[in-house]
Amino acid sequence: DAKTTQPPSMDCAEGRAANLPCNHSTISGNEYVYWYRQIHSQGPQYIIHGLKNNETNEMASLIITEDRKSSTLILPHATLRDTAVYYCIVRVFNDRDDKIIFGKGTRLHILP
């Protein structure tokens, strides 16, 4: 089972910041938080990941709480093309177990 909890859907007005929450209260010290998104009928697209520090790239920012039990993905200026299902994932890397366990994600609707 997925180790994260996300709201099933959210709306955001175009041009505003979209803040997508994720709870991962059982995260272990060596587990990373990853975010992917999936636009309709396409493969999942990697967005960002982090361990304990906040991260930012050209797509988004990832804010991880100090206790690491929750995080927020921020899309700073949402556009209609950001309409997608967003998956928050926790995973640990080791040589034998490298699969991603997806939950149902959050369906983000960007409203014009």
Partner 1 sequence: DTGVSQDPRHKITKRGQNVTFRCDPISEHNRLYWYRQTLGQGPEFLTYFQNEAQLEKSRLLSDRFSAERPKGSFSTLEIQRTEQGDSAMYLCASSSSSGRAADTQYFGPGTRLTVL
Which residues here bind partner 1, judged by CB under 8 A? 2, 30, 32, 34, 36, 41-46, 49, 51, 85, 87, 91-93, 95-105
- For partner 1, the closer of residues 13 and 51 by Cβ is 51
Identity of the amino acid at 32: Y
Least distance (Å) between residue 11 CB and partner 1? 19
Least distance (Å) between residue 76 CB and partner 1? 22
CA separation, residue 88 to residues 15, 95, 112 (Å): 23, 22, 25
Least distance (Å) between residue 30 CB and partner 1? 7
Pairing assessment for the beta strands 9-13 and 106-111 based on DSSP bridges:
parallel
Using alpha carbons, select from 74, 93, 86, 73 the residue that is nearest to residue 32.
93
